[in-house]
A and B are shown apart, each in its own frame.
Chain A
Amino acid sequence: MSIMSIPPDVVRSAPLRDTSVLPKWARDVLAAVVEAGAKGETVKLNTTVETLTPAEAAERLGLSRATVARRIAAGEIATMKVGNRHRIPVAEFARFQRDLMREVAAHYADDIEHDLA
């Protein structure tokens, strides 16, 4: 997680020029920064890592909670600790989901072959 601070004098000292080439989300962010600067407000931008609890990950995959706990203990799912609890970054969840589905499909490869024929 990181925080970026933009004080109002910085915004006022360097006015924006053409933003039309930027995507809408960037124009929206800049417009909000300029508006806050005009009011004398400091803008703070936070970045966070979106995470899931092991229970949420299990529910989303249809797996048992014990299975997810076992995969975490085996180091097959990377987690970050919040206090003494595991949290799974969403990107890691996506990586694990993809690998798991490929592993399952490979296990059933002969049946899939027959089904596709």
Chain B
Amino acid sequence: MPDLITIFLDANVLARPVTRTLLIAGGPTSGFVAVFSRTALDEADRHLGPGKTPVTDLVTRFGWATARTGTVGDRFDGTDPKDRQLLADAVDADAAFLVTDDVDDYAEHDLIEAGVAAVSADVFLAHRLTGLGYLAGLDALSAGRTRPPRTPEELHVALGRQHPRLVAAQAEAFATAPAAPTHPEPAVVYRGARCLACLAVDRTVNNRGLCSSCVVVVGDGGRAGGRG
């Protein structure tokens, strides 16, 4: 089986059950494995509203491993202080990408120096989730559901609300048009120097995560690395 790249999930992504499920369930088939640290888990649980199931159940009930706690030291001075530990954990996990809803919390020079790129979940999924990985994610999401959206096609339509780039990249999987997004895309969706398509570290990577060679081939939409 091919090697996997490691991606690190920020607390704000871990706290979103649909996004988290797509990343965890679709990863192994798509060539990546999603990891997270104790700091990320604890912060994710603090993000949850009342009555929600703790994200830490992934560890305590299902046996997920947590990444080691990285050393911050005097590094990452341009990054929001509350996020420095998460960046240190991502670096310690040897993650290629830090998947987060708040890319602009991480300073570009800190990311480049650390060799990690920060990217929004939707943009990452659009580029790296394969067709088989997408179906694996939809299959997991459909588990135990008795009400619409229940089938993979219904879920695909519903996902348009929060993952417009992903469903656009996977448009050929279903004939149905996805729902319109409910929120505008954040102004900053990528920072760093690792290309989402070819995975090379390259200072020509643009603010959509593509190097100058791949942007010509792939365009902005996604399915850069996604095959199958």
Are A and B co-members of a single complex?
Answer: yes
| Chain A contact residues, CB within 8 Å of chain B | 50, 52, 58-68, 70, 90, 97-98, 100-116
Nearest-Cβ distance from residue A18 to partner chain B, whole angstroms = 30
Nearest-Cβ distance from residue B75 to partner chain A, whole angstroms = 25
Known: A59-B4, A105-B142. 9 other contacts (CB 8 A): A50-B1, A58-B65, A62-B34, A98-B140, A101-B143, A104-B140, A108-B57, A112-B21, A112-B141
Nearest-Cβ distance from residue A96 to partner chain B, whole angstroms = 11
In the assembled complex, B115 has its CB within 8 A of some CB on chain A: no
Taking CB atoms and an 8 Å cut-off, the chain B residues in 1-18 that contact chain A are 1, 4, 16-18
Q: Is the CB of B52 within 8 A of A62?
A: no
- Looking at chain A's contact residues, the main secondary structure is helix
Q: Is the CB of A101 within 8 A of B18?
A: no
Chain B residues whose CB sits within 8 angstroms of the CB of A67 once the complex forms:
62-65
User: Cα distance A63–B66 when bound, in Å?
Assistant: 8
Chain B residues whose CB sits within 8 angstroms of the CB of A58 once the complex forms:
65
| Chain B contact residues, CB within 8 Å of chain A | 1, 4, 16-18, 21, 24-25, 27-28, 33-35, 52-53, 57-58, 61-65, 136, 139-145, 147, 149, 155, 158, 162
Contact of A116 (CB < 8 Å), options: B18, B35, B61, B62? B18
Chain B residues whose CB sits within 8 angstroms of the CB of A109 once the complex forms:
143-145
Chain B residues whose CB sits within 8 angstroms of the CB of A107 once the complex forms:
53, 57, 61-62
Q: Is the CB of B144 within 8 A of A101?
A: no
Chain A residues whose CB sits within 8 angstroms of the CB of B21 once the complex forms:
101, 104-105, 108, 112
Q: Is the CB of B145 within 8 A of A64?
A: no
User: Cα distance A102–B140 when bound, in Å?
Assistant: 4
Residue of A nearest to B18 (CB): A115
Chain B residues whose CB sits within 8 angstroms of the CB of A66 once the complex forms:
63
Assuming A59-B33, A111-B52, is B143 touching A64 (CB within 8 A)?
no
Nearest-Cβ distance from residue B118 to partner chain A, whole angstroms = 20
Chain B residues whose CB sits within 8 angstroms of the CB of A116 once the complex forms:
18, 149, 155, 158
